[in-house]
Structure 1
Amino acid sequence: MLVELVGQSGRDPDNVSANPARLVNVYAERTTEGERVLKSVLGMDFHTQLDGVFVRSMGRVDGVTYAVCGGRLWRINMDGSSTALGDLDTGSASICGNNGYVCVQAGTRYFVYDPDTDTITEPAAGAFSDIGSVEFFGNYTVLTEAGGRRFQWSALADPADLPGLNFSTADGKDDNLLRAFAMDGRLYLFKEESTELWYNTGEAGAEAMARVAGGVWDIGLLARNMICRFEGGAFIVGSDNRAHLVSSGGFQPVSTPPVETAIKINRPQACLTYADEGHTFCAIIFKDCPAWCYDLATGEWHERAEGVNLGPWNVAASCLLGREWAIGRNDGQISILRRSNSDGPTPLTREITSRTLRMDGVRTILREFELFPQQGFSAGTINLHISRDGGSTWSLPKPKPIGGQGEYGRRIMWRQLGQARALAVRIRWTMPRDMCLSTQARIAT
């Protein structure tokens, strides 16, 4: 019989036996014939090494990619080099543009970089001096107050001029601001437990911003870095410990119970976005477990890990570099996401764990198990592991070669796998080429 091995990652970290299904470093897509196949995630190719650790933020201004790392602002060049542009401050950071200027919040300070003069200045404080984030909105640079509820905006098209009266207070709820985000022509002010929606009135100076009537929601950000932008909206982890898509003035929850359990019991660090051949992914990065990645094209989740032991994905920010996606890593490295099937010098390990196949409570002899991978492109080996207890324990690997160049007819089949009342399988491979795999398998009993 043909069985569907897995749909999306569904393993609940605190109840593995309920559903052990995982997609690690693979994601599902549908072919033109309607078949579901599993495809490798993009690998990481080294691009440049910044002098410092912890890439705090990345942003693109006028087609140029910038990063904040090691208390400095850096320009990431297309040729694989990087240029230190000047000293900032340490701590969390955000980047936006404004008519060619690069506006940076670093720590609780605000800086403006002018590419024409290659200089960084720290403008005089306006309504307040402790800055929590920066964002471009309607030819203004908007700055939120760190640890407060006020936000201010620059003079029109001049991010270095902060008039003292150009501010307002996000007081729809009694909680502090974390991040400003401009989307669909409006300004979203994300707070600790709520979000407010503001608009540009068209007036000048202190009257330039006003809150939309009824534009207050009882969902805020879990932390200031738990947000990323995609075309048409934003992806956040909210103060309710759920993942949401935010667009058109509304919140759409997209997290599953396993994702929400991971958010609750692990340590989420940031959200970032990237794209691959028609799929846009929004990732929740964790300090102590693989990232959970949401596919906007399919509405499904997979996991992104690195290393042979499938550890946490050690990244912190993402941004376009030319036409490719660059990511900033915690060690100061900038990498490019490409279909290289490796994470730098480390092979990209891909692993699929099925849901538990229950044999109606009857001990059943498993005579054959067959997979349907893409073949004929390069030699490689697939390892099969078997669990007979709902994914709690696993057998030693049972390797099978998939065939070499031009060898298309080899059947990938394991025989005489013993008896089981409940069966789960785990498939793992590390070959340095892309290989699609059908989500279906054949089981003969």
Structure 2
Amino acid sequence: MARIPLLGGAYQSRSLIAAAQRCVNLYPENNPKASSPPVPVTHYLTPGLRKVSQAPVVGRVRSAYRATNGDLYIVVNTTVYFVAEDYIWNDLGTVPTGSNPLSFADNGLVIVLVDGATGYAVDMETRDFAMISDPTFYGANKVDYLDTYFIFNRPGTPQFYISLSNVTFAMLTGTPGAAYAGTIIGGGAGYTDGAFTDVPLTDGAGTGLTVNLTIAGGIVTSAAINNAGSGYENGDILNSTSAAIGSGGITAGSITNGGSAYTDGTYHNVPLTGVAGTGAQATVVVSGGAVTSVTITAKGTGYAATNVLSAVAASIGGTGSGFSYMVSSVASGFSYRIDNVHGSAFDPLDIAGKTGSADNIVTVAAIHGELWLIGELTSEIWVNTGSADFTFGRVQGAFVDHGCAAAYSLAKQDVFLFWLTQDREGTAVIVKTTGYGVVRISTHAIEQDIQKYTTISDAIGYCHQIEGHAFYVLTFPSANRTWVYELSTGQWHERGSVDSNGVIMRHRANAFAFAYGKGYVGDSQNGALYVYDQNYYLDGDQPIPRIRTFPHVVGNGNRIEYKSFIADIEVGQSGGMMSDEPPMISLRWSNDRGATFGNPVMQSMGATGQYLVSPQWRRLGVARDRVFELSWSAPVRTSLNSAWIETEAAET
């Protein structure tokens, strides 16, 4: 009896006579030689999808994002949600209709998400949500973050552009020119003590700014914007002439002429007259017909130093003339500098283009401290050089003759980028980065399969890791197929879910994010939120089909009698999900080299605890070249080593 080895993953060659091996919802793991394993490779179950929550709306989960503060954000149809750890869905706002993913990035202060033509921001503290309003935001289908800058591709061009360093929600989303932060640069003196609201400020490039002021000891001690106005610029210096705080009120002066013929006495609340200001009053003392003392009792407003004032004779005895009083100081000196205005998240000069080739940038990626500009046909790498004119510059010689065929196929894992490429010679090759270059990771069989698809530009890629295995998952929505690459072995497998008719389709996962210590998956159809779970053996509540096709079994061109087939598979496990009946496994085979298969023949995988059951099939007929295929969907833990086969040569 010979063992049929299973040494790799999926490989269905262009010609089935070479290879016809399917590997669905199973991934191979190399066994360490030091442990003297019975086989070099064991196939394990891909993780199930355990449902943990349901979105408030039914539809496609377009994106999932874990912010740097640990929060989870989900986009379902057109709604953006913050999903708390207790699965409370908080509706933040809406984005345009579409089926494509949205790209997210954050700088610890604000999250930016883009969908192509438009962009949005989420304040990470308040979770306020708004559209990016800066006039120099040009749209993007991809945003990333590096060295305090947001980085965007400019759609339909070879250009990319960056935000200012450490931009905030207010900088991205406010009315252009509306002030939202400033500093008191002069508290002034002589103002009326108290708290004052809606105090208008003048000067600067804009209009309409009002503040709430606190004044103590005649000095402005705090200023808070309550109406941001519009049209201001960073650095504008503003002042106040508000009567409410006593701006221009008299704080000191002196008698320049006491006059004569006034009636001696002390006069209270004497109005001072003669200039543009108003409201000043004083206590006036007249002795020997001349004014000898003036004490300001009401400072008034609108005065200026060197103003010369007087008083009507009727206020100080009814006769006399010549009295004059010169203002030496008034309540003044408060000044306020605008530090930040809305719509100031970008410098219109902070834009650059690919220099190695003029093809349009499809997507961008920041990884390992470097910026990859991935175009339609070529790619190049830039770094932060610290240049004053534009902080990023190209790494000389770092040029890749491969572009991108699907913008959303790009995914990161560790120091690697993965994507579906195209170049001047062709398309539909999957690569990963290595240093300043890329290596092909797809097989001829997978490439041949992908090139059959009518549409590949809608491919969606993401990476996830479970039990030390890192996977790059690439789904083709239009083609209804999902291919998965396992990094440690370099092997591929298919991942698929069943529809209501039991037909295998693409995997249900449409978006992935690792948050709150779990790997979350969003459903492509119904708004369900799952976690990847290696000990859960269903996709939601649907069975998971497991299929492994074996290599050709031939006998030097002669016909072979296949006397028995025994599956070397783990049995007797329940996984906590098994019914009273033992799980079943089926075998079918092809006598025409994998072109067509017969009907499946079922066998028991043993009840719980029956660890030594060997699913086997006998008297399997005669053929020259046979391909066997095992399949099962039992919700229990299994793993597949290989199979034994007993054959006997026939006469011809």
TM-score normalised by structure 1 residue count: 0.94
Letter in 1 for 2:533: R
Relative contact order higher in (CA < 8 Å, ≥ 6 apart): 1
Letter in 1 for 2:358: D
1:81-123 CA distance string (max 9 Å, x none): 3222112333442001112311111231121110222212333
Match of residue 244, structure 1, among 421, 425, 431: 431
> 2:19 matched to which residue of 1?
19
In structure 2, relative to structure 1, the CA distance for the partners of 1:374 and 1:241 (3 Å cut) is same
CA contact (8 A) 1:6 1:354 kept: no
**Could you tell me how far apart the structure 2 residues matched to 1:246 and 1:361 are?**
44
1:52 Cα deviation from its structure 2 partner: 5.3
**Could you tell me how far apart the structure 2 residues matched to 1:314 and 1:346 are?**
11
Letter in 2 for 1:53: G
**Could you tell me how far apart the structure 1 residues matched to 2:595 and 2:124 are?**
56
1:433 Cα deviation from its structure 2 partner: 0.9
The farther-off stretch of 356-365 and 319-328 is: 319-328
CA contact (8 A) 2:21 2:548 kept: yes
1:322 Cα deviation from its structure 2 partner: 2.1
Match of residue 150, structure 2, among 137, 141, 144: 141
Match of residue 367, structure 2, among 183, 207, 210: 183
1:77 Cα deviation from its structure 2 partner: 2.7
1:30 Cα deviation from its structure 2 partner: 2.5
CA contact (8 A) 2:3 2:642 kept: no
The farther-off stretch of 124-133 and 282-291 is: 124-133
1:5 Cα deviation from its structure 2 partner: 4.2
**Could you tell me how far apart the structure 2 residues matched to 1:411 and 1:226 are?**
42
> 2:468 matched to which residue of 1?
278
1:25 Cα deviation from its structure 2 partner: 0.5
**Could you tell me how far apart the structure 1 residues matched to 2:78 and 2:432 are?**
31
**Could you tell me how far apart the structure 2 residues matched to 1:243 and 1:258 are?**
12
Q: For residues 25-424 of structure 1, what are the structure 2 equivalents within 5 Å?
A: 25-32=25-32, 33=35, 34=37, 35=39, 36-50=41-55, 51=57, 53-61=59-67, 62-91=69-98, 92=100, 93-125=102-134, 127-158=136-167, 160=172, 161-204=345-388, 206-239=389-422, 240-266=427-453, 267-268=455-456, 269-287=459-477, 288-307=479-498, 308-331=502-525, 332-339=527-534, 340-378=536-574, 379-424=582-627
SS at match of 2:408: coil
**Could you tell me how far apart the structure 2 residues matched to 1:16 and 1:84 are?**
51
1:440 Cα deviation from its structure 2 partner: 4.1
The farther-off stretch of 61-70 and 419-428 is: 61-70
CA contact (8 A) 1:184 1:248 kept: no
The farther-off stretch of 326-335 and 105-114 is: 326-335
CA contact (8 A) 1:281 1:296 kept: yes
CA contact (8 A) 1:23 1:302 kept: yes
Larger Rg: 2
SS at match of 2:446: helix
Runs of 4+ in 1 over 6 A off after TM superposition: none
The farther-off stretch of 69-78 and 269-278 is: 69-78
**Could you tell me how far apart the structure 2 residues matched to 1:236 and 1:401 are?**
42
> 1:443 matched to which residue of 2?
646
CA contact (8 A) 2:385 2:391 kept: yes
The farther-off stretch of 253-262 and 113-122 is: 113-122
**Could you tell me how far apart the structure 2 residues matched to 1:360 and 1:435 are?**
34
1:181 Cα deviation from its structure 2 partner: 0.4
SS at match of 1:112: strand
Letter in 1 for 2:532: L
CA contact (8 A) 1:153 1:166 kept: yes
The farther-off stretch of 400-409 and 26-35 is: 26-35
Letter in 2 for 1:25: N
Letter in 1 for 2:544: L
The share of aligned pairs that are identical, in percent, is 24
Letter in 1 for 2:59: V
1:127 Cα deviation from its structure 2 partner: 4.2
**Could you tell me how far apart the structure 1 residues matched to 2:551 and 2:481 are?**
19
In structure 2, relative to structure 1, the CA distance for the partners of 1:413 and 1:440 (3 Å cut) is closer
CA contact (8 A) 1:60 1:96 kept: no
**Could you tell me how far apart the structure 2 residues matched to 1:78 and 1:17 are?**
52
1:23-60 CA distance string (max 9 Å, x none): 10111113343432111101112233332533332221
CA contact (8 A) 2:137 2:346 kept: no
Letter in 1 for 2:153: T
SS at match of 1:18: coil
SS at match of 1:241: strand
**Could you tell me how far apart the structure 2 residues matched to 1:306 and 1:402 are?**
22
Letter in 1 for 2:27: Y
